[in-house]
Structure 1
Amino acid sequence: MVSNNPICSPARATLLTGTYPNKNGVHCNVNSKSAVYGVELPANIVCWSDVLKEQGYSNGYIGKWHLDAPHQPYIPCKNNEGDIAWNEWTPFERRHGFDYWYSYGTYDYHDRPMYWDTKAPRDSFQFVNQWGPEHEADKAIDFFKNKGNVRNTSAPFSLVISINPPHEPYNTAPAKYHEPYNNIPIDSLVTDANIPPADTKMGDEYRKDVKNYYANITGVDAQIGRILQALKENKLLDNTIVLFTADHGNCLGKHNEHSKNNIYEESLRVPLLVYWKGRIKPCIDDELLISMPDIYPTLLDLAGYKKNIPATVDGKSYASYFLSRQGNKPSEQFILGALSYDQKQIKHSGFRSVRTKQYKLAYVTKKGGGLEPYLFNLQTDPFELNNIYRADHPMVKKLLPRLQYWLQKTGDRFAIP
């Protein structure tokens, strides 16, 4: 599984709409800088939650949304105090079929998060003195119990729990999640070949953050356990599809990259776990090269709404493969990112890539203009240390036409010489 546009807002828009940025309009992070160019999730695009709403579902959303453009006067909070404002309220008409709403735009103070409740107007947000993932798990459990009559218990439901961590700053998780790592020697966690050496900027950053990052993962994992247990205790687990994934990965300093939105595996690869009791056979699958737009049609197909999938969706359903381990599988994944805020400059910015099980071909815009090509053999060089690109390489000749086809199909004018 990959995040095909590995940064917060574009990945979320792709997941919700089943489309790439040329259709959903979210090609970069939603904030006050990109708002000038109209970057936010369109109110009239059909999300999978809109489809379920039409089928009588009771839909809930908890946590980070990050798809509505901030506007003046900006919400008075820390994420809006710098040169760029990030956090914004989502109007009722822009919630895409989610009836229960306990959310925020983007807010990175995880030990004192802020939320708008379903009926709260723009100026009525609240702060909570609890680590965000634990609080959001609490709210999810309340949703299952229907505390406060937040859902129609006679209707089927969907619930998104959009947990922010592991997201910087990484040092806010409660101490109990750090404890398993306190006595582990740092050298034992710095063994991958693509970690920069100590006494370099990114090498020191990795060593500073890696234990905290793992602590965040441990804390989030504990909340997933609580959520699953609550589904079971409320007799909801037997006929509920549970999906766990993420909007992007994180380099933490590997490849001298601070975070995400780059061509490397640490940025692109995300977890995908799907559970449906008695229907999806437990296994580990390393064959299905699934992409973020495929989640929308696959979930609707699994739920029995294949006929309701809009023709505009870019993704394909792999429901039959999930259920039987048989059927057609994609042979490649297409990736883009680091795009300019200005739509007129998108074709001259960022990177485009095609990834197979063994190879990754990528073209990255250089600061001074032009493109830097990359070809990695992911099986023999999993840390992507050796760029084996040459124009006459057999895999370049094979993959470049596929990438050019995808660019044309999605209306991307990114020019590869």
Structure 2
Amino acid sequence: MDTQAWLAINALPGMGALRIAQLVARQPEWPQGWLAALPGRAAGELRLWLEHPERSPLQRIIDETLAWQQQRPNRHVLHRDHPAWPELLNELPDPPVVLWAQGDLGALAGPRLAMVGTRRPTSEGTHNAQTFARDLTQRGWCVVSGMALGIDGVAQRAALNAGGSTIAVLGCGVDMIYPASHRELHEQLSRLPGGLLLSEHPPGTRARPAFFPRRNRIVTGLSLGTLVVEATEKSGSLVSARLTLEQNRELFVLPGSLHNVQARGCLALLREGSAHLACSVDDIIADLGHWAQAFIPTSEVVGQAALSIDPPPHTQPLPETLPDPLLAALSATPMPIDLLVHATGVTVSDCQQRLLMLELEGWVSQQAGGWVRLPRP
């Protein structure tokens, strides 16, 4: 089926992504099999378009999309029969029928990881999102997110700044800028190599609250796994986490302090045992590398040197007796994590992981100004 046929199917009344996916699974012949399988009203609309397109309201929708596409060379309409269509979406029970795309379709070529998180990240969360996004793109991975405020936008900017690939799935048309403060990011995703905007809504569609949960299923559905950087206990990012698990994809979270409200959703996922703890990009690639072989050579997936969160110069490998240097450096006076890293020579990621474990064991606590060692009986 060609683009016009898929646009017509997508615009049929009373259907929707789930019903169309169920029909596609039956592999009806085009067009007679579709006409026989569709419910009455939808079949009538499709027949009218096939026999008298000039009288069909479907043709107006098709013409508007084709006119939009022809205005710029970086505009595309993706569907199951398009060569750039991401096959991972076909594993969803309700994949989008059509995706309007603006930007570089090359972003769809490599392995993809979704990165999501709170709209109000801490400075540590911002730093971690930037570092993971940068390291992922340097390893040939594409960062997928929703161009939302907070972690989404931070990760996508970092991916572009690193010269990597990133895909933003929007809850509006690809020509609409939402949130308005991300105008520059929207433009970069449209014109820079590796940037791509996707939406299942036609151009001109304004953002609506109901669109965003649907948008999230595409973010996670495009990806081999999802990384939650920071999330509160009622964060919308936990919807993405649930979708990831429902789609049989891998879920990763970054550790955070027990006293960090923005990390409590992540800690809850770890407590439930539904997510993997990720302290470096290598942790993620170790779990997903075998799936990524379909995109890039195995040597590039698992054979590169470890990349962790901004290690200080001349960082030494973390010793087996990690509690000693960290506890020795801490006292009753709060110490910020950057000074703790400098004093001990361990990486930020290793330091964060061990501090979390020590906090759970009652050895340390995070207070205003940094970390302290707790008195032991």
Same fold (TM over 0.5): no
Flag the structure with more relative contact order, 1 or 2, with Cα contacts below 8 A and sequence separation at least 6.
Answer: 1
Asked which structure has the greater CA Rg, the reply is 2
What is the TM-score normalised by the length of structure 1?
Answer: 0.32
Superposition TM-score, scaled by structure 2 size:
0.35
